[in-house]
Amino acid sequence: MKRVLLSLDWILLASLLSLAALGLCVLYAAVYQGDMGLWHKQSMFWTAGMTGFLVLCFVPLRILGLVSWPMYAVGLLLLMLVPLIGDIHMGARRWLDLGFANIQPSEIMKWAMMFVLASWFATREARGLINIAIPLLLVAAPAALIVTQPDLGTTLVLLFAMVALMIAAGLPWRLFGAAVALGIASLPVLWHFMHGYQKQRVLTLLDPQSDPLGAGYHVIQSSIAIGSGGLLGKGFLQGTQARLHFLPEQHTDFIFSVLAEEGGMIAVILLLGLYAVLISRILLIAQRAHSRFASMLCIGIAAIFTLYITVNIGMVSGVFPVVGLPLPFISYGGSALVTMLAALGIVMRVAIESHERIPWQRPGSPLA
Amino acid sequence: MRNKQLEVRQRFNVRMVYFFAATPLFLGILLFQIMQLQWFEHEKYRLQADQNRLNIIPILPVRGEIIDAQGRGLAINHIDYRVSLIPERVENLEMTLHTLAQALHWTDDKVTLLRKRIKHTRPDRSVLLDDKLQWSDVSPLAARLHHYPGINVEAGSYRQYPFSELTSHIIGYLSLANAGDVEAGFLPSEFIGRTGIEKSFEAYLHGRLGHQREEVDAHGRRIAVINRKAPTMGKTIQLALDTDIQQAASDALGERTGAVVVMDVNTGGIIAMLSKPGYDTNQFITGLESAQWQEWLNNPEKPLLNRATQAAYPPASTFKLVTGLAGLDQSSQLAEGSTYCPGYVEFSDRKLHCWKRAGHETVTMHKALVQSCDVYFYQLADQLGMGVISDAALDWGLGEKTEIDLPPESRGIIPAQSPYMMAAIKSTQSRRKKWFRGETMITGIGQGALTTTPLQIARLAAAIANGGYILKPQVLAHRPTEVLHQVNVKAEHLQIVRSAMRDVVLSSAGTAHRALNQAAWTSAGKTGTAQVVKLSTKKKNKLSEEEIQRHHKDHAWFMGYAPYENPQIAITVFVEHGGHGGSDAAPVAAAIIQAMAEKQALALNQQPDKQKMFSPTVSKL
């Protein structure tokens, strides 16, 4: 116990706690005119998530390596059940009613797939046909199921994490370049298969003013909220866009605009700074990790956080189309928060184990 | 093996460098976008946020009222109360409707209708439940308004014309702003003056919009009132018009078509201006039905026409005053001497008749005016020539606008021999090039192409009474007298005409003797009977036999002033197809004089009370 405490990564913990404090403040501002119950719920999610975080600090990484394949198998099975018996919610079939709880198999799959890829690349490099083809197939199966739900956000997360892990695992650049070129070339085909609402989102992104009261409304209102915040912001609880309910989904996906409106650019810089510390810390832990499996896990987690942050803020400020990804640690949402804290718990465990076993400059092979 | 492992590790380390570099890159791009919004485009978004949250609600001004010389309202604002409901704010709709139905005495049918209306309205929009309510109806409700969330009681005002038909032409009417007005900055819900005083004094009456700046939420619900600028009420306007005199004139005219003008001979104030038939201007406020409007437009009696200013008719014998004054001014032999009237006058191959076929025997100017001898004026006009007559007519204010503040106004027509006037003749008559002698002669008795408006004739009467001052007719009270023009006329010439006009009433041979000699005030005047141009066959076909007969009847005129010794008012009565001036128009003047005299006697008796009379605040214009 004492050993674990001593080897905790305090910078990671400090940035996480700062984000917790900031997140709860912003959520307070987002819901205080509406349902304050949400704020209390989120506080409870934090408590639960932090407990999970602490528990995971004591779970050896070996065990994760052991459960990764079974977890992937169960995840895939559940995912296949979704089209058959899933619940339709907001026009997409994503949820599975297990009697005691509604779960989103894609959420499980996201993490399971990362564990599987990490353990795959723990002993291999992303070079050679077999080494690349098998992980591609491992991702393609769930990705195909998820994209038809439809859930573009999670699919994007899967692909992004996969690419990040492959690059970390030494994917040759020319293959990467070829994949990017192929991706761009397939855009028109993708467009053809996109759902109407997804096409609408892309079109609206290109010109939000074309539909100011419909699909463009969200982006326009959040841009107004952010822009009107200015350098210093309108003050805590003083944001008119937030207070008067002009912002859509202001406690979940669009919570960034509440922060930007009330806190101004100062708060934005603070938030992005905290994220920068958090992500670089995860990357640093990845580099210092005692095993290649641990490094890969951390890189995957850092990639997912980066994607969440980029897509969410990009969406809210009108750079990306509206894709429902949460802003890590700030957006309201229990399951997202708990899984992200669990992921950070794993990162912390990596830091702890590395601290125990490995001296500062690690000799030897990452493939050992 | 060791080398291979080292290679892998090195490759991993290199890749890690990329990741370390990528993180600030991603976050930097985001920061750049945020900087764009919050720094460089902050102003634009700040304004948009204000536009979002601020709602500026215009508050309509209350239109200024129009009152008559006694302070009676001619165009007033009626306050009414409206009850409306915002469905989503109502806690218990059934209970609320039940309470309201009891308080406002609604029938079950109305409640059912309202329930349907509420159902079909957006829940955040106000639904009008009842309007045109009196304070007594809504006061119990208003006092307990906090018990009924979602219910609003608001006061509004609408225009009312208490003497609508009587004053329709002088007061005019309003209608809602049209596309052009909206472009000029009016709201679609504002009423704009379209005719009469309502139009010509629109700028004074209208008032200024106020506004209320409110903070609203995304659903448009009011959160708070930020500030409020009260509207400026339009100014009240007092007219020189006396509703009693107007009413007396209207009663005397009865159902006949025509116009009456009563003018203050000293100030030009319009004491009465009536045009018959009138129309109900209130209907423009309550919502004029298109069928009614079409009926007014197509009615052969033309109720929308202000006959006092917008229609010109042959002045007939009333014009003999102008011919006579021109003759005196020119020191014409005939004007100072006499002629013999055999009942007709012959020239070249034509023969013009006097109205009295038996003739007037020897006639002087005085006798010719009193008995309205045509032959005398045929000869006088023939001697003077058209140029002199038209100059005199222009001098006495005919053939030009009176500049009364009631546009549009007709000029009337003065035909003349000059090439300029020939053009006017050409446009109204057939394409003739030549001016005939006979035309000058019939113009001399006010027939032919000559036309004048009743207002012009009233002003002529006033000018004869006041010594030749052509005044601007003033519709507003308390305005300084405006002399547009002074006729250069010798006092003794004027006296000749005046005494002749006096004898029209006084002498038993005078044309207005029977109607006016017994009147309360002494008066002087001149009758006229204008021959009507025969109807064209095309027009005839459209009318019934009865109407054709009516249309062939002559127009009746009377113009004059009273009291004779100390003139106060000039009166013109015009009865369209009314028959004879003496028998049909002059009695209306008698009724007006009677009403004026009664009023003055009353005012004299009640002199001490005069201070107590209602004295409205009247804006200085």
Count CB neighbours of B217 within 10 A.
17
Q: Round to whole Å and give the CA distance between B326 and A186.
A: 102
Count CB neighbours of A27 within 10 A.
24
Cis status, amide bond into B315, omega within 30 of 0:
no
pLDDT band at residue A368 using 50, 70 and 90 as cut-offs: very low
Give the SS3 label for residue B338: strand
Residue with tokens 């009631």: B406
Average pLDDT score over residue span A119-130: 89
Least confident range from A325-339, B80-94, B100-114, B572-586: namely B80-94
Amino acid at site B73 = G
pLDDT band at residue A207 using 50, 70 and 90 as cut-offs: low
The encoded tokens of residue B593 equal 């004089």
Maximum mean pLDDT: which of A62-71, B417-426, B459-468: B459-468
For chain B, the domains span: 54-72+162-239, 79-137+147-158, 243-290+304-605
Residue B532's pLDDT is 82
- Nearest CB among A230, A280, A318 relative to B23 is that of A280
* Chain A residues in contact with B48 (beta carbon < 8 A): 224, 227-228
The encoded tokens of residue B550 equal 């009516």
The encoded tokens of residue A192 equal 């053809």
Cis status, amide bond into A328, omega within 30 of 0:
no
* Tens-digit pLDDT profile for residues B483-516: 998 999 999 999 999 999 999 999 998 899 999 9
Give the residue among A347, A251, A352 at the shortest CA–CA distance from A304. Answer: A347
Count CB neighbours of B545 within 10 A.
8
Helix ranges, B89-134 (H): 93-104, 108-119
Q: Round to whole Å and give the CA distance between B500 and B339.
A: 17
Residue A366's pLDDT is 45
Maximum mean pLDDT: which of A268-272, B54-58, B605-609: A268-272
Give the residue among A361, A356, A347 at the shortest CA–CA distance from A288. Answer: A361
Architecture of domain B54-72+162-239: Alpha-Beta Complex (3.90)
Long-range contacts, B203-206 (Cβ 8 Å, 24+): B204/B64, B204/B234, B204/B235, B204/B237, B204/B619, B204/B621, B205/B63, B205/B64, B205/B66, B205/B234, B205/B235, B205/B237, B206/B61, B206/B63, B206/B64, B206/B234
Greater pLDDT, A30 or A33: A30
Instruction: Say if the Cβ atoms of A269 and B13 lie within 8 Å.
Output: no
pLDDT band at residue A361 using 50, 70 and 90 as cut-offs: very low
As a whole number of angstroms, the longest Cα–Cα distance in chain A is: 60
Computed over every residue of chain B, the mean pLDDT equals 87
* Tens-digit pLDDT profile for residues B297-338: 998 889 999 999 999 999 999 999 999 999 999 988 888 888
> In DSSP terms, which residues pair with B58 in a beta bridge?
B211
Average pLDDT score over residue span B26-53: 91
Please state whether the predicted TM-score (pTM) of the whole model is above 0.90.
no
Which residue numbers of B have CB closer than 8 Å to A's CBs?
Answer: 2, 5-6, 8-9, 11-13, 15-16, 18-20, 22-24, 26-27, 29-31, 33-35, 37-39, 41-42, 44-46, 48-50, 52-53, 215-219, 223
CA trace torsion B319, B322, B325, B330 (10° rounding):
-120
- Collect all residues with Cβ–Cβ distance below 8 Å to B565 and sequence separation of at least 6: B522
pLDDT at position B138 over 80:
yes
* Tens-digit pLDDT profile for residues A33-45: 878 899 999 999 9
pLDDT band at residue B258 using 50, 70 and 90 as cut-offs: very high
Average pLDDT score over residue span A160-176: 92
Q: Round to whole Å and give the CA distance between B331 and B336.
A: 7
* Tens-digit pLDDT profile for residues B262-297: 999 999 999 999 999 999 999 988 778 889 999 999
A residues 310-349 near B, CB within 8 Å? 310, 313-314, 317-319
> Do the first three CATH levels of B54-72+162-239 and B79-137+147-158 match, i.e. the same topology?
yes
* Chain B residues in contact with A295 (beta carbon < 8 A): 12
Counting Cβ atoms within 10 Å, is residue B194 exposed (0-12), middle (13-18) or buried (19+)?
Answer: middle
Residue B419's pLDDT is 53
* Chain A residues in contact with B38 (beta carbon < 8 A): 226-227, 229-231, 260, 264-265, 268
For chain A, the domains span: 2-357
Give the residue among B513, B583, B592, B525 at the shortest CA–CA distance from B554. Answer: B583
Count CB neighbours of B435 within 10 A.
16
Instruction: Say if the Cβ atoms of B49 and A295 lie within 8 Å.
Output: no
A271 touches chain B (CB under 8 A): no
- The DSSP symbol for B38 reads I
* Tens-digit pLDDT profile for residues B354-388: 888 888 889 999 999 999 999 999 999 999 988 89
Q: Round to whole Å and give the CA distance between B39 and A317.
A: 13
Highest CATH level, class, for B243-290+304-605: alpha beta
B79-137+147-158 folds as: Penicillin-binding protein 2a (Domain 2) (3.90.1310)
The encoded tokens of residue A287 equal 């580099």
